[in-house]
């Protein structure tokens, strides 16, 4: 692998079999697979000054490994994804735990047996728990919206409590909308858990953190003789799409183009901008060993930030006398001014707009949109990796 900042003056796209736009999961996974399986020479262009996309981590001034674009916790049910990524890292046995700060009491989220007892008192909490077990079964995940539909006054009481104290205010802060106004799948990510497991991802067979961090994982994934990475390069300065071809540096390009940026940007938002939520991440280093008991505390009824992450609690890094925390403030994303589009807003009119952009590239047989931005989807890291593995399977089969 060669990493350069900017493109060399004599950059010749024709000397590469594929151009990959973006050095996050989607781009890096495709680059590695096409280099290995097809012996393709790959040029990756990335407009940031680093690899790893939104999973990028680095040591801050206090020497603490932090995640620049929000806390990233790896978990997957997908064995193929796990064995592919495990080629480039070992994993710690970190199991993510989240507590909700509800009027000063810290309760496990997903809401579970312990949370019920904290919320309703020992006796009533136990009674309600038994009823949940009798209704849904032990160790079952129940989406809050499903719980609300049950026609039982006691279960309705649980549903109302969880809705009001866990979901309503947090969701208003995160999305600017009530839980009923957003895609049910979003809150379905955090179901009530009828059991004692207090992990955020109960039952995910593979979870942990990359032993040396995400950026190191990417360095290994991109470490291949046929892969060149060019940082600080915005592809819009060299690529142009026409109805029938992809032009790179002014000439039709015959290689494969893997595009992991946003599609509306590529067309100058000419049919309108795809809506997103962005997040202001505010970091602070404190002169203490530990600030909070777990990796993430969600502020579900108070404050105007959504959550506080303490990185040492996730990475297991030992740095005595100091710790770095980060607060997240979610807000509307403003297109075209350099903000980071973090969360897609899955609503029918946005999907229709997205499809109208996809239609314009669908005839370009060598242009492949993939990833959280290019597919306009709320993917976790494993979902993006799976999508990139599938796309590379198709390209490999074709060559
Ligand atoms: P990205 O990582 O965004 O990579 C795309 C890259 O393309 C970027 O580096 C961008 O700079 C580059 N690019 C875009 N346009 C251009 C252009 N014109 N020219 C050149 N380069 C360009 N997932 C989990 O599994 N667990 C978590 O705990 C988790 N936490 C998250 C927390 C937050 C706050 C957010 C926002 C996401 C979280 N995710 C998590 C999701 C995870 O970040 C994504 O699934 C993953 O990073 C997506 O990879 P990607 O390659 O599709 O996109
Ligand atoms: N959510 C909530 N309260 C919580 C946790 C989650 O209301 O304590 C809702 C909220 O709408 C959030 C969604 O569930 O956006 C998904 O949560 P998740 O933790 O998966 O979000 P992410 O880590 O992707 O930001």
> Over its length of 399 residues, how does the chain's per-residue pLDDT go in tens digits?
789 999 999 999 999 999 999 999 999 999 999 999 999 999 999 999 999 999 999 999 999 999 999 999 999 999 999 999 999 999 999 999 999 999 999 999 999 999 999 999 999 999 999 999 999 999 999 998 888 888 899 999 999 999 999 999 999 999 999 998 999 899 889 999 999 999 999 889 999 999 999 999 999 999 999 999 999 999 999 999 998 999 999 999 999 999 999 999 999 999 999 999 999 999 999 999 999 999 999 999 999 999 999 999 999 999 999 999 999 999 999 998 999 999 999 999 999 999 999 999 999 999 999 999 999 999 999 999 999 999 999 999 999
Please tell me the total number of residues recorded for the chain in this structure. Answer: 399
Q: Are strands 192-194 and 57-59 parallel, antiparallel or unpaired?
A: unpaired
Q: Is the whole model's pTM more than 0.85, yes or no?
A: yes
- How far from 349 is each of 178, 233, 261, 273, 345, CA to CA, in Å? 18, 32, 20, 12, 10
Gap between the Cα atoms of 287 and 321, Å rounded? 6
For 11, residues 6+ apart whose C-beta sits below 8 A from its C-beta are: 230, 249
Gap between the Cα atoms of 160 and 318, Å rounded? 41
Q: Are strands 367-369 and 256-259 parallel, antiparallel or unpaired?
A: parallel
Lining residues, ligand 1, CB within 6 Å: 21-27, 45-48, 53-55, 70-74, 234-236, 260-261, 279, 342, 371-373, 379-382, 384
Ligand 1 atom at minimum distance from 375 CA: 52
Gap between the Cα atoms of 230 and 216, Å rounded? 17
Which ligand has an atom closest to residue 50 CA?
1
| CB distance 387 to ligand 2 below 6 Å | no
- Ligand 2 centre and the CA of 171: distance in Å? 7
End-to-end CA distance of the chain: 23
- Ligand 2 centre and the CA of 69: distance in Å? 16
Gap between the Cα atoms of 53 and 153, Å rounded? 47
Which of 159, 170, 191 has most ligand 2 atoms within 8 Å of CB, for mutation?
Answer: 170
110 cis-preceded (ω within 30 degrees of 0): yes
Residue closest via CA to ligand 1's atom 41 equals 380
């Amino acid at each position: 692998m060669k990493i350069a900042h900017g493109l060399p003056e004599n950059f010749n796209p024709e000397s590469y079999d594929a151009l990959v736009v973006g050095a996050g999961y989607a781009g890096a996974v495709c680059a590695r697979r096409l280099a290995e399986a097809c012996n393709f020479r790959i040029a990756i262009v990335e407009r940031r000054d680093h690899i790893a996309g939104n999973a990028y981590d680095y040591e801050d001034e206090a020497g603490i490994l932090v995640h620049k674009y929000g806390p990233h916790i790896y978990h997957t049910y997908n064995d193929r994804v796990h064995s592919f990524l495990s080629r480039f890292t070992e994993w710690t046995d970190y199991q993510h735990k989240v507590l909700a700060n509800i009027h000063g009491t810290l309760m496990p989220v997903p809401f579970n047996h312990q949370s019920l007892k904290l919320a309703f008192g020992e006796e009533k909490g136990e009674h309600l728990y038994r009823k949940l077990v009798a209704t849904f079964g032990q160790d079952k995940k129940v989406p809050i919206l499903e719980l609300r539909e049950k026609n039982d006054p006691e279960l309705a009481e649980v549903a109302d409590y969880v809705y009001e104290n866990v979901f309503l205010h947090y969701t208003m802060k995160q999305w600017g909308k009530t839980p009923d106004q957003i895609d049910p799948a979003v809150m379905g990510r955090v179901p009530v858990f009828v059991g004692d497991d207090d992990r955020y991802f109960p039952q995910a067979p593979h979870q942990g953190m990359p032993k040396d961090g995400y950026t190191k994982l990417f360095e290994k994934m991109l470490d291949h003789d046929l892969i060149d990475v060019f940082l600080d390069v915005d592809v819009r300065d060299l690529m142009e799409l026409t109805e029938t071809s992809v032009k790179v540096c002014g000439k039709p390009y015959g290689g494969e183009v893997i595009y992991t940026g946003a599609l509306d940007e590529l067309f100058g938002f000419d049919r309108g901008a795809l809506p997103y939520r962005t997040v202001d991440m505010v970091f602070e280093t404190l002169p203490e060993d530990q600030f909070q008991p777990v990796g993430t505390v969600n502020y579900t009824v108070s404050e105007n930030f959504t959550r506080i992450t303490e990185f040492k609690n996730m990475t297991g890094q030992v740095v005595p006398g100091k710790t770095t925390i980060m607060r997240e403030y979610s807000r509307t994303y403003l297109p075209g001014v350099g903000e980071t589009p973090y969360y897609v807003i899955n609503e029918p009119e946005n999907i229709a707009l997205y499809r109208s952009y996809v239609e314009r590239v669908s005839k370009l047989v060598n242009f492949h949109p993939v990833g959280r931005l290019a597919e306009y989807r709320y993917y976790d890291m494993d979902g993006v990796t799976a999508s990139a593995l599938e796309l590379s399977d198709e390209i490999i089969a074709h060559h």
